[in-house]
Amino acid sequence: MSCSLRIGMVGGAGWLGGAIAASILDAHIIAPENLSLSYRREPSGRFPASFWTTDNQELADRSDVIILSVRPQDWPAVPIDASGKLIISVMAGIRVAALSARHKTGRVVRALPNAAADVSRSYTPWIASETALKEDRQIVRAIFGACGVEDEVESESDIDYLTGLTGSGPAFPALLAAAMMEHAIDHGLAPDIARRAVSTVLTGTGRLLERSGECPGEIVRTFLDYRGTTAAAIEEMRSSGFDTAVRKGLSAAFTKSVSMGETS
């Protein structure tokens, strides 16, 4: 990666934009003075050695790579001209063709990291336009590799599906954790003990899956075969519609992602 590469982050004061920016700098992909960030209301207190602006076109003019990290509904208010430059969108639903037409460049990447980029544990699927350069793909792999794990996928439909599956990031495990904590507290556990117990279960499970390489379904079957307390819980959850609820939730997220692209 060229040490002279300049990256601009539209929405740099936001949670995701700031997380990606921090990962880029921590991985030494660029120097702090080659990072530009824009904001609407007030700049973040982070990245004091970098350039901050409210003018998105000024940011684009100072950058070789422009990352769009704003809410999809706010995108119409970002009419920057990125002629000949690499645009990377981390907005849900917005299609490659729409990005290319609006920002006047054939070098476009659509990616979807999640909030775990804040701790360099995001999963980021991405797809590049047909006219993107080989060097563009190298830049994308470096940026999102610094945020966690990245995969180039085959179609925008894959991105739309993964918007719900992985783009939601910590939300689904957090939903499960909240339900578990509420149940534990209802049974008399102190809130701080319930929180530590549930958090450790979830983080430990993530480490176990990562280290063992086992399919999650195999781990579930192991507990079911043991016929103990965990099997009783799994069977009750499933009979209450757990698997169906997860499928319906992911389907709803996929439908929403597709509709966001159509309205853009």
All domains in the chain, ordered by first residue: 7-153 (3.40.50.720), 171-263 (1.10.3730.10)
Which residue reads 């350039």 in tokens?
51
Write the DSSP symbol of residue 34. Answer: G
Which 3 state secondary structure label does DSSP give 123? strand
Quote the pTM value. 0.87
Which 3 state secondary structure label does DSSP give 74? helix
**pLDDT for residue 170:** 86
Alpha helices per DSSP H over the chain: 15-26, 56-61, 96-103, 134-147, 156-165, 171-186, 191-212, 216-226, 229-239, 242-263
Write the DSSP symbol of residue 75. Answer: G
Check: CB of residue 57 under 8 Å from CB of residue 81.
Answer: yes
- Closest among 67, 72, 38, 41 to 55, alpha carbons compared: 38
**pLDDT for residue 263:** 66
**pLDDT for residue 2:** 61
- Closest among 98, 115, 262, 122 to 206, alpha carbons compared: 122
**pLDDT for residue 214:** 82
Buried (b) or exposed (e) across 43-75, using 16+ Cβ within 10 A? bbeebeebbbbeebeebbebbbbbbbbbebeeb
Which segments in the chain show pLDDT lower than 50? none
Angstrom distances, CA of residue 102 to CA of 48, 83, 85, 167? 31, 10, 13, 24
**pLDDT for residue 168:** 85
CA distance linking residue 15 with residue 44, whole number of Å: 10
Tokens matching residue 119: 């701790």
Which residue reads 């910590």 in tokens?
170
**pLDDT for residue 47:** 96
CA distance linking residue 33 with residue 20, whole number of Å: 16
